[in-house]
Structure 1
Amino acid sequence: MSADTTTYVTLYDQRVRLVADALTQNSKLGEKAARELAVHVLYAIDHISEKVR
Structure 2
Amino acid sequence: MFCDRCGEPAAEGDHVACADARQLEPPRFCPDCRRRMKVQVVPTGWTATCVEHGTRTS
TM-score, length basis structure 1: 0.24
TM-score normalized by structure 2? 0.23
Q: Whose strand fraction is larger, Structure 1's or Structure 2's? A: 2
Larger radius of gyration: 1
